[in-house]
Structure 1
Amino acid sequence: MNGTKSYISKTVEELKPSGIRRFFDLAAGMEGVISLGVGEPDFITPWSVREAAILSLEQGYTSYTANAGLMELREEIAGYMQKSFGVSYSPQSEITVTVGASQALDIALRAILDPGDEVIVVEPSFVSYVPLVALAGGVPVQVQTLKENGFKILPEQLEKVITVKTKAIMLCSPNNPTGTMLERSELKAIAQIAEKYDLLVLSDEIYAELAYEGDYTSFAAISGMKKRTILISGFSKGFAMTGWRLGFVCAPEAISQAMLKIHQYAMMCAPTMAQFAALEALRAGRSDVEDMKKSYRRRRNYFVQSLNDLGLTCHVPGGAFYAFPSIESTGLSSEEFAERLLMAEKVAVVPGNIFGKSGEGHVRCSYATSMELLQEAIKRIGHFLDQHQKA
């Protein structure tokens, strides 16, 4: 390619590479690193789920499925949503099986956004939200939450940024990276705003299975909100199936069918063997999920208390498997803290600023690793803090 002409989309050119990947790459070249950066379970997918996938291959189920996914799986998802969260969806017209929750979010945004439409993104937020809004032609409007409020969005914060171009609010509860979980009363307040201003809500509920405090409430279960909710979920986190890349999206029929159009052209269907695995996960994997959840809760309690004992103030996350401690007492920025901790003590954490401006002064630590490694990580962090104070 000669000359000065650029063949790359301006939107793509302006996208920043994932900040998470940079720290993964740094850690990958070092021996003896304890990684608290990876956002995935340390459990292996339960054997019965793996066996179901193997059996599907042995039986020759290697063709495409319906674009929206195996009807058997969609029916099982519908039953799961009704039983677990009290929301009723039609497997025929309101559920699409996707290649992970990430693809579900991508096609949801592309289905609803016209150029210039605004999407309110509550931050700290997962790193893909803002780029995916931009790639869909929308304008991300980031709203910062505060640690003093436990990183919970306040209704008045939302109202301040709503304009005639606002089309949707994007939520994640339990949240990545903070672990914050919104209670029913807090969801109701957001629902009132969505109703008042005629907005959609994209509710990322991928961590719904990993809610530790009280009863989890799906946004779609709030009275009158199913018609306004695009509910995104999947099997990666709660069912320890990250590498299977299987998610699903539930939405009112008109929106669901619009997403399905994009899915048909962009992806055809989700991997067939992964769909059979997910079917088994829903039918027989509940006890495994509960066992993993109990283990995460024990680790959370130990790790968060230990961080607070070290002077790194950390609220108790209501769900997911992340702690989001403040490192402001060190006088270092998030990136400085993460880089120095990695180089000095070989503990990998993710700087909070990559999740938005309100994440600055914090780091994300995943406690989805063994208790032994968490204990060693706490020792190393404590040593790092001691040496930093002496410097």
Structure 2
Amino acid sequence: MGRRLADIPGFGIDRVAAAAGADPAILRLENLDTDVPPHPHVVDVTRAAVGRDDANSYLPFSGLEAMKEAVATFIRRRGGPSYDPHNEVVITQGEGDNMLDALLALTDPGDEVIVTDPTYAGMIQRVRLVGAVPRFVPLRGDADGWRLDTDALRAAVTESTRVLFIAPSIPTGWVPSQQEWEAIADICRERRIMLLYWQGMEGIVFGGRPVITPSALPGMRDLTVTCGGTAFEQRLIGWRVGWIAASAELAPQLAMVHIYNGIVASGFAQIGAAAALGLGDDDVRPAVAEWEWRHHELVHQCAGLPLVPAHGGWSALIDAEACGLDAPELSRRLLEQKVAATPMTAWGETVAPRHVRLVFSNEPVERLALLGKRLRAALP
């Protein structure tokens, strides 16, 4: 086995999902899925593209022009800067290979990449896969939600730091405030460090919070590499279409890495994804309202327990150790009570491993109403 794999643990979600099996009585809170369907127009457009010659090709490697234009329009509509769709946008196979593409282009082995604790395990392990070193900065969670320790963030920066890798919402529901984004941007500008921003859940925010696109902050356009995708807001998980938006200087390097990593995203899926982005936020808002309603029910079911509420996204974390258990044991006990939930063992350094993730996006409110009794039955 290659040495680069020595410190990379298993994902965890797959083991919980396999243990849950196909029992319909089990609440499926272990994985970021949703039963909120894509817009029917998007399904129709995708079906119509299947079998067409222009939708069944290796070319163009960096993505269909219509998809690139849809991404550039989407970012600008969200308040972000203008990107040349032909020279500054690369289309990828979802929201995983784009992260790896970016890390391969932005770092060398031994470089340090700052991530939050908790954060998406797929980010942490991709940092390690490229030979870089993750440095963790804690999020602080309480009954009001998660906040970034900006003093710890500044202290974590060293001469070896090359990238700040920030992913709102996953897995915590943390949505950075304007002040937190400003603190991140200050470091990037002062130290000429790149911000690698995962945009996937950008528009899934609760409580009327504003959507903030960090590449729009002063001086941040060319210091930001934005990785996005249509899996979450547009509910196109199986389409596997994502993107990278970056400066004209960086984009050709990112496109080259993508050719040797992902080659090309599905043509007919790109056609459907472009249609989804073209629908705008009028399609996204009803889905967000549904997920916020489900989150409200989750909080209600966990009343009195150490759940940190989400400000956005599809999941929230409960502190297993505050419940008197470690996270794997709470996950095991929950499964006995017919609740599948993933321990955050590999999702951070000191904060994440205390927690179990509860995904609220894939169960309707009437099913989530079963959680409280089952959760309390799992506790000592």
**The two structures share one fold, judged by TM-score above 0.5:** yes
Cα shift at 1:316 = 2.8
Decide which moves more: 231-240 or 256-265: 256-265
C-alpha spacing 1:156/1:83, structure 2 compared with 1 (3 Å) = same
Mapped pair 1:321 → 2:321 = no
1: CA distance, partners of 2:141 / 2:324: 17
- Alpha-carbon contact 2:97-2:262 (below 8 Å) kept: no
1:126 is aligned with what amino acid?
Y
From 270, 274, 278, give the equivalent of 1:275: 270
Partner residue in 1 for 2:82 = 88
* 2:349 is aligned with 1:354: no
TM-score, normalised with respect to structure 1: 0.91
- Name the residue aligned to 1:246: 241
- CA distance in structure 1 between the aligned counterparts of 2:157 and 2:139, rounded to whole angstroms: 16
TM-aligned CA distance change 1:13 to 1:29, over 3 Å? farther
Q: Helix, strand or coil: the match of 1:51?
A: helix
Write the mapping of 1:84-233 to structure 2, written as runs, cut at 5 A. 84-148=78-142, 150-173=145-168, 175-213=169-207, 214-233=209-228
In the alignment, the residues of structure 2 paired with residue 336 and residue 382 of structure 1 have an alpha-carbon distance, to the nearest angstrom, of 14
The Cα of 1:166 is off from its aligned counterpart by 0.8
Separation in structure 1 between the aligned mates of residue 344 and residue 279 of structure 2, nearest angstrom: 37
Worse-matched range after superposition: 34-43 or 348-357: 348-357
How has the CA–CA distance of structure 1 residues 17 and 352 changed in structure 2, closer, same or farther, with 3 Å as cutoff? closer
CA spacing shift, 1:130–1:86, aligned 2, 3 Å: closer
How far does residue 365 in structure 1 lie from its aligned partner after superposition? 0.4
Measure, in 1, the Cα distance between the counterparts of 2:51 and 2:343.
45
State the AA in 2 paired with 1:234.
Answer: G
User: Residue type matched to 1:63 in 2?
Assistant: S
SS across alignment from 2:47: helix
SS of match in other structure, 1:355: coil
Matches of 1:318 and 1:77, distance apart in 2 = 25
Deviation at 1:31, TM superposition (A): 5.8
Distance 1:284 1:190, change over 3 A: closer
SS in 1 for 2:305: coil
Q: Contact between 2:320 and 2:330, CA under 8 Å: does it hold in 1?
A: yes
Moved more, 236-245 or 262-271: 262-271
Residue 57 in structure 1 maps to residue 65 in structure 2: no
Partner residue, 1:340: 333
Q: Structure 1 stretch 136-145 or stretch 366-375: which is displaced more?
A: 136-145
SS at match of 2:233: coil
Cα deviation, residue 383, structure 1: 3.3
8 Å contact kept, 2:245–2:251: yes
Distance 2:320 2:132 in 1: 33
Question: Is the contact made by 2:46 and 2:268 (CA closer than 8 Å) also made in structure 1?
Answer: yes
In 1, the alpha carbon distance for the partners of 2:322 and 2:345 equals: 16
Does the CA-based 8 Å contact 1:304-1:323 persist in structure 2? Answer: no
SS at match of 1:233: strand
Q: What RMSD in Å do the two structures reach over aligned CA positions? A: 1.7
SS in structure 1 at match of 2:134: strand
- CA shift, 1:319, in A, is 0.8
Partner of 1:38: 31
Residue identity matched to 1:18: F
CA distance in 1, matches of 2:305, 2:37: 31
Cα distance in 1, alignment partners of residues 7 and 149 from structure 2: 30
Q: Aligned residues: percent identity?
A: 26
TM-score (norm 2): 0.94
Deviation at 1:172, TM superposition (A): 1.0
Structure 1 unpaired stretches of 5+ = 1-7
Do the aligned residues in 2 keep the contact of 1:119 with 1:169 (CA within 8 Å)? yes
Bigger Cα Rg: 1
Q: CA deviation at 1:58?
A: 4.7
Q: Is contact 1:76-1:279 (8 Å) kept?
A: yes
Measured after TM superposition, the shift of residue 251 of structure 1 is 1.0
Quote the residue 2:72 is aligned against.
78
SS in 2 for 1:164: coil
Structure 2: stretches of 5+ with no match in the other structure: none
**Quick one: which amino acid aligns to residue 351 of structure 1?**
P
More helix by percentage: 1
Cα pair distance change 1:361/1:101, threshold 3 Å: same
Paired letter, 1:277:
G
Farther off after superposition, 80-89 or 29-38: 29-38
How far, CA to CA, are the matches of 1:203 and 1:22 in structure 2?
29
Aligned positions, number: 375
Alignment partner of 2:165: what SS?
Answer: strand
**Take 1:20 and 1:30, find their aligned partners in 2: how far apart are those partners?**
16
Secondary structure at the aligned position of 2:81 is classed as coil
